[in-house]
């Protein structure tokens, strides 16, 4: 199995079987992101799409997701939307509804 030094996990891990995105960016992801790192991005991307109610048909939404993907995979990380609480999180009693 092909190993990569994953930029998301910060360690060696099994790589992807093929580039998951077209062009040079897809090749960079293939070479620098592990299967586990890519799966983490897919979960994060799903949360972003749902929380911001994005449409894949909207070019602005696609550009936003691409920018978030680059931050998540290679940069400082992609932050959840303001006020986002993961499913099953215990609400903060000091926070007003």
Domains of the chain as residue ranges with CATH: 3-74 (1.10.3880.10)
pLDDT, position 33: 98
Per residue of the chain (97 residues), what is the pLDDT tens digit?
A: 899 999 999 999 999 999 998 999 999 999 999 999 999 999 999 999 999 999 989 999 999 999 999 999 999 888 888 877 777 766 666 655 5
Q: Which helix (H) or strand (E) holds 4?
A: strand 3-6
pLDDT, position 90: 63
pLDDT, position 93: 61
Q: Please identify which residue in the block is written with the tokens 């799966």.
A: 39
pTM of the model: 0.84
Residue 8: C-alpha distances to residues 11, 31, 37, 50 (Å):
8, 12, 5, 22
């Amino acid at each position: 199995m092909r190993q990569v030094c994953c930029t998301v996990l910060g360690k060696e891990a099994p790589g992807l079987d093929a580039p998951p995105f077209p062009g040079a960016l897809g090749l960079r992801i293939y070479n620098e992101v592990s299967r586990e790192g890519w799966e983490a991005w897919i979960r994060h991307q799903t949360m972003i799409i749902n929380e911001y109610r994005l449409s894949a048909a909207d070019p602005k939404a696609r550009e936003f997701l691409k920018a978030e993907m680059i931050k998540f995979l290679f940069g400082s990380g992609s932050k959840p939307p303001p006020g986002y609480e993961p499913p099953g999180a215990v609400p903060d009693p000091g926070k007003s509804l």
